[in-house]
Structure 1
Amino acid sequence: MLRHVLIALRSGSCLSEHDNPGEATALVLQGHVELRSGTDSWTAGTGDLLVIPPARHSLHAIEDSAVLLTIAKTG
């Protein structure tokens, strides 16, 4: 099953830490975000693609942002 979710975040807001729902990527359509997982973090801006780690993680908006989350779930 393939699922797409459009996420809009205001600057300074976040999706709190949660489990990975399956293999997933996040395409930043607009803005600038930071993906955090444990002690690791990655920043991305408009046009960048993040691979979601297979662990608990959170997403923080550095500025107003729109992100297209794509999840591939098996089973």
Structure 2
Amino acid sequence: MRKFSLDALARELLERAASSSARRSAETVYGGHEHALRQTLLTLLSGAALSEHGNPGEATMTVLRGRVRLTSGEEAWEGRTGDLLVVPRARHALEALEDSAVLLTVVASGR
């Protein structure tokens, strides 16, 4: 068994994001290409975004801190600390409305 402090990692990744021109940082905390399940901690500084991209499978996003906006087409959902957002299967984008940390959980299709 392994244990992770998502809070400590979020603090570290927010510091990395502050020194990045993209104003964001990410680290896979579980899984990867050899697993169906992958969990990635993403941090974005206020105003930073992930441009529209596809979804590789079923996915949820848990907002660990801050406030984000998830958009897909004309639809938008806001999430704040403690919220779970179901990521649409369609193309989507993510924007940080405040300095934020989210745990992205993806189960890859075709596994």
Tell me if both proteins adopt one fold, taking TM over 0.5 as the criterion. yes
Greater strand fraction, Structure 1 or Structure 2: 1
Runs of 4 or more, structure 1, over 4 Å off, are none
Q: CA deviation at 1:21?
A: 1.2
Quote the residue 1:19 is aligned against.
54
Quote the residue 2:44 is aligned against.
9
Quote the residue 1:57 is aligned against.
92
Distance 2:74 2:109 in 1: 28
Q: CA deviation at 1:73?
A: 1.2
Q: CA deviation at 1:46?
A: 0.1
Greater helix fraction, Structure 1 or Structure 2: 2
Distance 2:70 2:79 in 1: 8
Amino acid corresponding to residue 23 of structure 1 in structure 2: E
Structure ID, larger Rg: 2
Q: Structure 1 length as normaliser, TM-score? A: 0.98
Q: Structure 2 length as normaliser, TM-score? A: 0.66
User: Kindly, what percent of the aligned residue pairs are identical?
Assistant: 60
Structure 2: which 5+ runs fail to align?
1-35
Give the counterpart of 1:40 among 72, 75, 84. Answer: 75
Specify which structure has the bigger relative contact order, considering alpha-carbon pairs within 8 angstroms and separated by 6 or more residues: 1
Quote the residue 1:70 is aligned against.
105
